[in-house]
Chain A
Amino acid sequence: MPEKNNSFIIQSSPHLREKDSVPKIMFSVIISLLPAAFASVYFFRFRAALLLFSCLAASLITEALFLWLRKRPLRYLLDGSAAITGILLAMTLPPSLPLEFAIIGAVVAIGLGKQAFGGLGHNIFNPALVGRAFLQTAFPVAMTTWIPPAMIKVNTATFATPLGNLKFQDAISQGTLTSLEELFWGNVGGCLGETSALALMLGALYLLLRRSIDWRIPVGIILSLSLFTGIFWLTNPGKYASPLFHVLAGSLLIGALFMATDMVTSPISPLGAWIYALGIGLVIGLIRLFGGYAEGVMYSILFMNAFVPLLNKYTRPRILGEERKT
C-alpha cells in the first residue's frame, strides 16, 4: 500500500466554488437599502435615524440572545441577515412611532418571525413583516398616525398618507390626490421607507444587477397590481386611482423590491415565483380597493409567504428528458 501523503486534502467534487456567499448577499441587501434609509432621514430627520438605530440594535441583540440560547455559533450574527430585518422593519414604521414600540417590533420580528422557526433559512414568513404585523395589531393607533415630512408645513394635527387620503377622504373628487411627481421624489407622508420611489429603485437596481433578487417577483407584483387597478381605473377614473399611482404610493415598491424578494420566504422555481408575485399584486389590489385598510402590501406578502412551501412542491421544474405534462 502506498504511503499516505499527509499534505493532500481529500474532498468531494466540485473543487471550485464561486466567491459569492450568504454574508456577501446579505451585505449587498444592506447597501441597497442605504439610499432609501438616507432618504427617510432626509424627509423625517432625527426621528427616522432614531427608529433605524433602535430597530437595528434591538434586532442584533435579540439575534445574539437567541443564538446563545440555542447554542449556535455567534458568527451567524455577522451574516447580516438580522441587520436587514432591523433596517427593513424600521422602514415599515411610521416616523412618529414611540421607540419602545419599535423595539418590541424588532424583538418579535427576530424572536417569533425568525429564530422560533430555527433561524436563517428556516422561517416561513418575512421576519420584518411579522414584527410589523404584530405592531399593527398591538398598537393600531400609533401605527396609523402619520406626520408630514420635514419640508411640508401644515397646521392640522393629523396628516394622511396618499393612500389614506385616497381611501378615506375621497381625494379624487376633492382634487387633493397626491401628484405622481411627489410620490416619485418622496415628499409625502408615510412610513420611513414608503416615501421615495427613486431611492428604492436605485437600491433595487443594484440588487437586480448583482442578481441578488429574482426580477420576476417585482415585475409580477407590479404587473398584476397594475392590471387589477387598471381595469377599475379605466371603467371609472372618477372613483379609482390610476395604476401608476398605486405602484408609486404606499409601501408597494419597498414591498415588491425588498420584502417579497426575500430569498428565504419566496419560491425556488421560476413558475412558483410568478404565481407568488401575481398573487401578491392581486391581494394588494383587493385590499386597497375593497378592504378595510388603505394599504395591503404587508398582509398580501405574509399571505403569499404561507403558500411558498406548497408552490415549491407543485411547481417543480420539468427535468431534462421528462415527458411534458399534457
Chain B
Amino acid sequence: MRTKTFPHGIHPDESKQLTADKPLETMPPPEKVFIPLLQHFGSPAEPLVNKGDEVSLGQKIGEGKTLFSASVHSSVSGKVLAVDHYLHPGGNMVPAVTIANDGADRSLFPEKETKDPISLSPEEIREKVKEAGIVGLGGAAFPTSVKLTPPKDKPIDTIIINGCECEPILTADYRLMLEFPEDILKGAEIICKATGANRLLVGIEDNKRSAFEALRKCAQNTRAEIVLLKTKYPQGAEKNLISALLQREVPRGGLPFDVGVMVQNVGTTKAVWEAVSQGIPLYQRAITVSGPGIKEPKNLLVRLGTSFKEAVDFCGGLKGGSNLLVMGGPMMGLSQWSLEVPVVKATSGILAWDAPSPASEYACISCSRCVGHCPMRLVPTQLMKCVKYENLTLAENWGILDCVECGCCQYVCPSKIPLVHWIRWGKNEVMSLKRKKSA
C-alpha cells in the first residue's frame, strides 16, 4: 500500500520495541497525588477546595474560569492536604492541590449514562468536554473545548484523528488504538458532530500496522477513513499531517481551521468519548515509561498527579547511570531535574537514559542539512545566526515564528549547534518585542 507523507523530516531510531507489545497496565493509585491547577495552555484553574476538605474521585477541584483555561479534577478520593505550590514538569512552581488517597475511590461518575451521546447538540458536547477538563493529550495541552469552538466564519469540513505517535520510544497512543479502537472512533464521531465536519480521517504511521488493522476493522460501515502514513518524524506535527493527508497548507501564522481542518490526538478523542458518554472527567491518562534507563519499560494508565518517582518505581526503577529524565518524547520532551514532579495532562511519557556528554560544537559549515530536513521549510542555520547576532527583524522575516521546535535541524546538524535552543530564545525575544510594540 502506498503510504502518504510530507516532504523533509528525519528517521531517528524508533526504539518502540521496548514497550510496543506491552498492554496498557493500570497503575495502582498512589498514596498521595499532587495535582497542579495549571496543566494546560492558558491561565491556571482557580481552586475550589480548601485544606482539610474531603474530595471524591473525579470531583472538580479547580475551575478554569477564563477563556483559555481548563478545569482540574481529583484523581483519587481522600483528604486535601494542601492547596499551595508544587513543582511542575515544565520546570516552574505552579498552584497545586495535594490530596491524600483514602484508597476507596469513591466517585461521582458515571452520574447518569447519556443514552444516545451522538444526538447531543454541539453546545451540549462542548459543555461536557469543558466540564471534564479535557485538553489536547498529544503534548500541547490546549483546552479541547476551546478548540471545538472554531470561529463562525471558519467552517470545519474534515476532522483528522492523529494516531501518528511519531516521537521515538513512545507507544501509549499505539496501545490506545489497539485496545480501544471503538472508543476512539466513537469519540471521533462526537467531534465531527460538535464541529459539523463531514469527513473523518485517522492517520497512522506504517510502523503501527496492528493499530491500523484494529481501527480499520472497527471503521467498517462508518465514514471514518483509516489512512496509513509513512513512518517519519514529525509525521504527527499538525501542519505536516494536514499536508500529508489533504495536500492543504495551513497559512503561515494560521491554525488548521483556516483550511477547514481540526486535528485531535487519539488519547484526547478517547477522553472526549468517555466524558460525553459517561461523564467521566480527565483524571488519568495513558503514558509510556520507557527508555534504556528504565528497568522494566511499560505502558501505563496512571492517575494524574502521580509523582514520576512512583511511576518509575512501578516500572522497576531507574538503571544506574541514567542521567537524563525526560517528560514526553526524546525529540520534543522536557528534561527534568527531579523525579518529584507529578504526571500532568501533557505527560505522554516518562523516559530515562544515559545521555552521552555533549559533542564538541563547531562553527556552521553551511552543509544545508537543516534546510533539507526542516518540515516547515525554514533555514534554521540562518535563524540561529539572526538570533546570535541580535537581528530579530531579519529572524522574523525568515520565519522564526513558523518554527514548531520539532528538533529535526538539531538532530542532523553535524556541527552540533543547539539550533532549537537559539531559535526558541529568538522566538521569545521576537514575541516580547511584538508585545512591547502593541502595548
Q: What residues make up the interface of A, taking CB atoms closer than 8 Å to B?
A: 1-5, 7-18, 20-22, 24-25, 75-76, 79, 118-122, 214, 263-270, 273, 312, 316-323
Contacts and interface: CB of A to CB of B under 8 A. Distances in A.
8 contacts: A4-B338, A9-B355, A18-B10, A22-B414, A75-B360, A121-B415, A263-B368, A322-B252
Contacts of B341: 2
Contact of A319 (B10, B252, B382): B252
B379 to A, nearest CB: 6
A320 B402 contact: yes
A16 B331 CA distance: 6
Given A4-B338, A9-B324, A268-B381, A121 B363 contact: yes
Interface of B: 10, 12-13, 87, 93, 168, 239-240, 243, 249-252, 254, 322-326, 330-341, 355, 358-360, 362-368, 371-372, 375-379, 381-382, 398-399, 402, 405-407, 410-416, 418, 420-421, 424
B366 A1 contact: no
Nearest to B360: A75
Given A21-B416, A321-B254, A13 B407 contact: yes
Contacts of B252: 319-322
A21 B414 contact: yes
Contacts of A322: 251-252, 399
Contacts of B240: 320
B323 A120 contact: no
A191 to B, nearest CB: 26
The interface residues of chain A, by DSSP majority, are classed as loop
Contacts of B375: 320
A196 to B, nearest CB: 27
5 pairs of A and B residues whose beta carbons are closest in the complex: A14-B407, A2-B340, A121-B363, A268-B368, A12-B421
A8 B414 contact: no
B385 to A, nearest CB: 11
A14 B382 contact: no
B420 A15 contact: no
A322 B406 CA distance: 19
A120 B361 CA distance: 12
A214 B322 CA distance: 39
A15 B326 contact: yes
Nearest to B322: A7
Contacts of B402: 319-321
Contact of A316 (B334, B335, B338, B379): B379
Given A14-B330, A14-B411, A121-B362, A8 B379 contact: no
Contacts of B330: 14-16
Nearest to B368: A268
A259 to B, nearest CB: 15
A24 to B, nearest CB: 7
B331 A5 contact: no
Nearest to B373: A18
B331 A14 contact: yes
A261 to B, nearest CB: 11
Contact of B323 (A8, A269, A312): A8
A317 B399 CA distance: 11
A5 B340 CA distance: 9
Contact of B366 (A4, A13, A268): A268
A31 to B, nearest CB: 16
A22 B362 contact: yes
A320 B424 contact: no
B347 to A, nearest CB: 15
Given A8-B325, A15-B335, A319 B421 contact: no
